[in-house]
Structure formats: C-alpha cells, structure tokens
Amino acid sequence: MSITEAELSAAIEVALCAARNATDIINKSIDERSAPITNVNTKSNSTDWVTQYDKQCEEEVLSVLRAGTPDYAIISEETQADVPLDDSPTWIVDPIDGTTSFAHGLYDCCVSIALAVNKEPVLGVISAPRLQEIYTAAKGRGAYCNGQRIHVSHATTLNESVVIIHQPYNRSKACVEAVLNTQREFMKLPVHSVRCYGSAALDMCFVASGKADLYFEVGFNAWDYAAGAIIVREAGGVVHDVNNQNSLDLMGRGMCCGSSKEVTLKAIEVMEKYNYRDAVWTLD
C-alpha cells in the first residue's frame, strides 16, 4: 500500500485540525477547574487513569479524521484499541497522552496522532496544550515545532546525555527494583541528567528537539509512540525496538529512541543488565 504526496499533505492538515480541536478541549478543562480531577476510571490498574475528557477528545479527533479521510482505518486508545494494524493507511490516536498529568493540571500531556502505512508511521502530529507547542513531521519532509525545523542533539555518549525514564504502571517488586537499578546505573556513569515526565509522546518530542538525548519505554502501545517515532526520525534521531536495533514494530510494545545509535545501544546494554524489559513487561 502507498499514499501519494498530495494525500500525505491532505492528511497532515486533517490531523492538525483534529489535534487543535482536542487541544481546545484540554485547555478549557484545565483552565476552568480549580482542583485536580478526582472522578476517574482505571484501566490496567489503579495508577492507569482515564477521564471523561479522554473520551471527549477521542470523539472529537475521530470525528475529524473520519470526515477528512473516510477510507482510512483508525486505532485509538479508548474505544478502538483492538483494531488490527495492517498495511492500509491507519490513523493511530492517543486523545490525551499523559492523563495523570492532565488530571492534575500539569504541563506534560498532549494529543498524539499518527498515520501509518505498511505498518510504518509516515506522519505525526503531537500537540502539547500547556506548552503551546505543536510538533509535526512527515516522511521525507523533516520535523517541526510550531513551524520551526527541529533536530536532535549531537550527543553520542551517555555521559553527555539527558536521559528520560518513566515510572511504569507496574509496581511489582521486581519491576520497581529493575527501574531503580537502571536509574542508579545511569546516574553512576554519570549521565548528564535523569528526568521523569508523564507523556511518552511528548518525551519523544523532547528527544527530537534536542531537549533530551535518550528515552526508552517498555509495556506501552502503538498510540503512545507512533507519532513520536516519525518525529524523532525526521529530526535526525534513531528509533528502534528495545530488543532489535534494526527495526521498530509499532505493535511490539517497546521502544528506544535517541540522538544517535551509540546512545541507544548503550541504553539497551544497561536495560539488559538489570532485566528491565522482562521486569516491566509483567504489566500484562
């Protein structure tokens, strides 16, 4: 399967419209409330939240995508998560990535929209409402933030890298120990800094724009990293599976991205040392 350059350009405009509409919903919700959202539902466990606004944003995004590209398939976190990914043009949507941060009024949440063709992302739009930033990329066209070209940093060693590591939803003893040991190893190297934010998609944008140099994750889903993957690649960075440096499986539930292959391969060495992937994977 393939799409033309004209179809790709049209899809970008559709995705931007959908992202802006969802951004308005997020901003309105945060601006109008005086306390964190407490009326939440949970998914995989008590730390994995979903709010009424996730569903409201999803309804708005999917409505725009269906109107603009009626023949494209859609995979979306809240209501269409089980749609299989094949070679046909497929939207991959996270209406609010970083729901916990959103619920608490923090800045690190975003709308993430990707288009995949032949199971590879060909465009990505990530809108971070509280940062007033919109990241975009399309295959062969570069990556941008608010219309300005972005590029990964020049870091080629962990010692000069800002590393982003999340706290997984999995809170088992084995997982907690693996995460803490991995963080400790990075700090002992030492890396330049270790950071923890709340949105996978936005963290990939930080790598793409040179604000961070390495980010990896295990046990998450295509909607968390599909848009970020094309943005990092078009910004000159690398993205691959945590267990295969030469490919990225959007349904593989694991990803490592960075400013250079040297940085990502060293990160995988550290993960393997502490059994990070298998320990976190027990989320299922």
Which are the contacts of 261, defined by CB distance < 8 A and separation ≥ 6? 238, 245
CB 280 within 8 A of CB 171: no
Residue 275's SS3 state is coil
Residue 7: both structure tokens together: 């179809």
CA atoms within 13 A on the CB side of 93: 30
CB 127 within 8 A of CB 20: yes
Cα–Cα distance for residue pair 98/96, rounded to 1 Å? 6
**What phi and psi values does residue 42 have, to the nearest 5 degrees?**
-115, 160
265 CB-contact burial (10 Å; exposed 0-12 / middle 13-18 / buried 19+): middle
Among candidates 18, 102, 113, which has minimal Cα distance to 60? Answer: 18
For the residues of 56-79, what is the DSSP string, one character each? HHHHHHHHHHHHH-TTSEEEETTT
Residues annotated as catalytic (active site), given as ranges: 77, 94, 96-97, 99, 224
In what helix (H) or strand (E) does residue 123 lie, and over which residues does it extend? strand 120-128
Distance of CA 21 to the CA centre of its chain: 19
Question: How much is the CA Rg of the chain, to the nearest whole Å?
Answer: 18
